[in-house]
Structure 1
């Protein structure tokens, strides 16, 4: 399996991993984690829990563009090593994004978001330069 496919797999796992801080925040609420109404409970979060919820949602939102970019590179048989580096850059930026968002480090969060976004766009354009 190629590096970019492993990164696609890891990015898929980030859907679940990005939810861990959110679940922790919900568990700390009065009554603990509400498995019957988790979305209602999420809506009432504040502070770092609310940011954890936003980080989780943003991870889900960013995944399709990255997945499309990896698949475009694979289907068009782009063999440039840059494709692997871009995929790695996306995964690292997304992990950092979640950490920075939950910890409320907004400038760094925005910077790593841009890195991940442009890595995805570059993957989509990879047949043009690959």
Structure 2
């Protein structure tokens, strides 16, 4: 029986899938022990609670939404590159670079550094396009 290898690029897919959860944790950080009546996290109505947040909490929530939006293209690009038998080393490197850029994107979003955030977003998009075309012959 032959087993498929779980490549480094596939590990990057897993890490990328966890990034929105990290964003949600950032948005909710420190509010679990605060009573609801004092503005603490409301697990019965989390979306309404998040909608009322401002500043870095609101930006962390927006980063979560954008990170979820970026996942399908990244997942597809990595899978397509594997299916087209792209060279593994460049694929691994670009997948890792994508994850690093998205982590930087989240940090810049939370820190309210919009121009830098947008530049990182664009770089991650171009890296994702490069991943998609790695297997093109």
- TM-score normalised over the length of structure 2: 0.86
Asked whether 1:13 is paired with 2:18, we answer yes
Matches within 5 A, 1:77-116: 77-116=85-124
Q: Any gaps of 5 or more consecutive residues in structure 1?
A: none
Answer with 1 or 2: which has the greater Rg.
2
Q: Any gaps of 5 or more consecutive residues in structure 2?
A: 1-5
Q: In 2 relative to 1, CA 35–9 (structure 1 residues): closer, same or farther, beyond 3 Å?
A: same
Deviations along 1:26-54, whole A, 9 cap, x unmatched? 55683311000000111111111111111
Cα distance, 1:15 vs. partner?
Answer: 2.3
How many residues are matched? 129
1:125 aligned to which of 110, 114, 133: 133
Cα distance, 1:102 vs. partner?
Answer: 0.4
In the alignment, the residues of structure 2 paired with residue 48 and residue 7 of structure 1 have an alpha-carbon distance, to the nearest angstrom, of: 26
Runs of 4 or more off by more than 3 Å in structure 1?
25-29
In the alignment, the residues of structure 1 paired with residue 25 and residue 7 of structure 2 have an alpha-carbon distance, to the nearest angstrom, of: 28
